Structure 1
Amino acid sequence: MIEPILLFGVPVDFLLFALTLLGVAIFHHKTLQVALTGLAAIVIYKLIFTGFKYGAGINGLGHHMVHEWVTLANLFLLLMGFALLSRHFEDSRVPDEMPALLPDDWKGGVVLLVLVFVLSSFLDNIAAALIGGTVARHVFRSKVHIGYLAAIVAASNAGGSGSVVGDTTTTMMWIAGVSPLAVVEAYIAAVVAMLIFAVPASIQQQRFSPIQKNPPSGLKIDRTRVFIVAAILVAALAANIIANLRFPALLDSVPVLGIAVWAVILLTAGWRAPDWKVMPETFKGTIFLLALVTAASLMPVERLPVASWPTALGLGFISAVFDNIPLTALALKQGGYDWGYLAYAVGFGGSMIWFGSSAGVALSNMYPEAKSVGRWVSQGWPVAVAYVVGFFVMLAVLGWHPDPRV
């Protein structure tokens, strides 16, 4: 690959990506078109001027996509599959029963966020966010504040940040040889962050649309749909653990998690038909995310600043606009990080913007009004505050202890 062309000291690749993100922020009703246009501009620029990491021209682009296709395929299958899972969960009538289990004031919103946090510690954060969003739609009578949506995404990302089975980035660290105990330290920051953003977000929501005090009468839970939801989640969890422990090389060549989810969806379709009507809109949101992830993977980020706690803190903000998977891969290759900090930063940091994590994109497919960077940032401000405070509490409690072995 030729050295990047600089404009005002900044690689043109980054400027094109920044313009794409700016376009997404301004034209939030045309996000798919903006993302695809930005991706096309970046690809054309690299085809003509700089080439790609694995070579120049079409061959270089082809080799790049060979390295990225498993990640993209997994994201596609998971986002599409978990949209059907959320509808199974909604149609099971379990969310309608939740008002009987949650406190009937702002503390009910906090308890729901805690449930999302716990679910995400052992499930995929996309599934946890969608389950939280489905319950919120029912207990808040379909009027969910954007600040609370940001909190649901933040809870799902925080819950996965300290578990090697809770997030793709922490799973990558586990595969690379990082001890699960080194990653679990991230929960010190994640729990503090949770305590900070959960209360103001829940109070915002209670003022916007109070929680429903009592469930509708005459509810009948569809146990078959509950079983299907559980089967999909167990399949994803089992596929993740078994593949990492027994067949790690398979994860680089086959989208194992996505295939496991869709296998259960298709095998159980005869018992209860999935709600296929959600697919067209979900497809648009999924292609949007894949366009941004692909564009981010094309950026010349082969060298990161020297590993340190300020660098780790900065990576959290970067992960709000860059895909955290390549950032994690680069950090692992570089070495010298305290991995608990990196897990928290790249896992939780993407919550600060709606397209900064796959959980945010999935939830925004369910709530299209959330697809506004300005409203997400202004109404979800507790998430950014919580990220910084959680990081510095962890630093004060543990200190910075880099591990040069990975």
Structure 2
Amino acid sequence: MPESLYWILIALAIAGLLSVILEEVIHVNKAQSVLFFGALSWLLLFIFGSEAETHQRVMEGLQENIGEIASLWLFLLSAMTFVAYLNKKGLIENITYRFLPQNISERQLLLVTGLFSFVFSSLADNVTATLVSVALILSLNLSATKTLRFATVSVFAVNSGGVAMITGDVTTLMIFLADKVSIPHLLMLAGPALLAVVLLATLLARPLNDSVKIERQTNELQRVDVTIAIVFLLTIFATIAGNVLFDIPPVLSFISGLSVMFLVARAFGEDTENDPIMNYIRQIEFDTLMFFLGILLLVGSLKEIHALDSIVRIYEFLPAWAANYSMGLLSALIDNVPLTAALLKADVPMEMQDWLALTYAVGVGGSLLIIGSAAGIVAMTKINELTFGSYLRFIVALLIAYTVGYAATLALGTWIGS
């Protein structure tokens, strides 16, 4: 491949990033722009990689990239269909009203929302936790400015909650499978991660002085709605257990759960000609899926030219703790999965406590920008007020929370290693 192609692909990736940042200026939907740049990147790889050996390598890379995208798409489709059904039936609102007091201060409500997102993401994957958390936030009917604060805390909390569980974050699982950290040590990460969430909620709650009156207008739930909610929860737990015990891909577990949901609806007579259960798939915002497609195509093209491999050279110039902190900052721009894969492939020599710090950094660092994590992207496509620019207003608070959590992780690692 010509050397100029490498710079062209990097330029396209930067253009894709800028198209997301400047969406409100250029008035082009971010899903449309990144999809264009992502597809164009792979077209160029094939055009300039016409040699037989290079062509075969690019073909295998595309098939691997498409396979990853298909798994994410199907997983999102399944999870979003569950949430779309439960949200329309009012079950999420009912749960919210049952557990929240009738009168609560906005500051307390913000902290409760963060804790809910943190705990739920420890049990479920980040995408499902974000979908449920966003549905909860929207059900509160807050003003746009306050919704932004709640969404920001929720995105940070979702990423933080998943970092201590091998089923909560892909990068955590990758580092664990590489025998760099143990499960007991990973579970200890919940302490620093929770500290960071509480700190962020405290910082963002300062301007909130009002109280919220929760109107308990609960809807009467049907047996079929409760049953499908149980199927949803069982699907989450089955996904965790199946992955840990039998290495079953999460996408397969969620597709199975979705099929059970359809059959349950049919058995209860909920699947009718006037309201077919399959219609809930059409209620999914496919903008989210198209945006993921474009982003992953762009990242996949960078991975194909090994543009991410050079990043590991930072460990030659900085101590491990500083390099890991920088990796967390970088994960806000570059998908943390290929970033972590590059570090593992390079087999950077680090102690266990350093790998523990890296686990926190790449898991939580993506929260610094709205496009830096799956949780942020899903939230951005669900909440109209949440854009790259509006989220960036809280960058100082996010950076403080991330830094304090990272410092606490370093202290934890020092204690473990002593």
Report the TM range for the smaller structure's normalisation: 0.7 to 0.9
Equivalent positions of 1:101-250 (< 5 A) are 101-102=99-100, 104-105=104-105, 106-141=107-142, 143=144, 144-177=146-179, 178-203=181-206, 206=208, 212-217=212-217, 219-246=219-246, 248=247
Alignment pair present for 1:60 and 2:57? yes
User: Structure 1 residues 235-244 or 30-39, which shifts more?
Assistant: 235-244
Amino acid at match of 1:311: A
Q: Secondary structure at the match of 1:298?
A: helix
1:396–1:323 distance in 2 versus 1, CA, 3 Å: same
Alignment of 1:274-313 (within 5 A): 274=277, 276=279, 279=282, 282-299=285-302, 300-303=307-310, 304-305=312-313, 307=315, 308-313=320-325
- Encode CA deviations 1:156-204: one digit per residue, 9 max, x unaligned: 1100001111122222233333421232343243122112111233455
How many aligned positions are there? 388
Distance 1:47-1:69 versus aligned 2 partners, 3 A rule: closer
Tell me, yes or no, if the aligned pair for 1:89 and 1:225 is still in contact at 8 Å.
yes
Distance 1:65 1:269, change over 3 A: farther
Correspondence 1:378 to 2:378: no
**Of the candidates 250, 253, 256, which is equivalent to residue 252 of structure 2?**
256
TM-score by length of 1: 0.84
Counterpart of 1:17? 13
Contact 2:232–2:257 (CA<8 Å) still a contact in 1? yes
Q: Percent identity?
A: 23
Question: Does the CA contact (< 8 Å) of 2:121 and 2:162 recur in 1?
Answer: yes
**CA separation of 1:329/1:225 partners in 2, compared to 1, >3 Å: closer, same or farther?**
farther
Amino acid at match of 1:340: L
Q: CA deviation at 1:64?
A: 0.8
Tell me the residue number matched to 1:95. Answer: 93
Q: Among residues 70, 74, 77, which one is paired with 1:77 in the alignment?
A: 74
Structure 1 equivalent of residue 355 of structure 2: 339
Cα shift readout 1:293-313 (whole Å, capped 9, x = no counterpart): 221122121342255222221
Distance 1:401 1:65 in 2: 42
Q: Structure 1 residue 354: deviation in Å? A: 2.1
Distance, in Å, in 2 between the alignment partners of 1:278 and 1:379 is 34
Instruction: Report the alpha carbon displacement of residue 56 of structure 1 after superposing the two structures with TM.
Output: 2.4
Q: Give the aligned residue type for 1:186.
A: L
CA deviation vs aligned residue, 1:42-82 (integer Å, no higher than 9, x gap) = 22333344689x9523x433211222334212211222222
Q: 1:120-146 deviations in whole A, cap 9, x for unaligned?
A: 112111111221111111224475522
Corresponding residue of 1:363:
379
Structure 2 spans left out of the alignment, 5+ residues: 272-276
Q: TM-score, normalised by structure 2?
A: 0.82
Distance 1:47 1:140, change over 3 A: same
Q: Distance in 2 between matches of 1:268 and 1:211?
A: 40
SS at match of 2:375: helix
2:274: which partner in 1?
none
Match for 2:308: what amino acid?
V
Question: Could you tell which deviates more after superposition, 15-24 or 171-180?
Answer: 171-180
Query: 1:387: which partner in 2?
Result: 402
Displacement of 1:218: 5.8
CA distance in 1, matches of 2:109, 2:135: 15
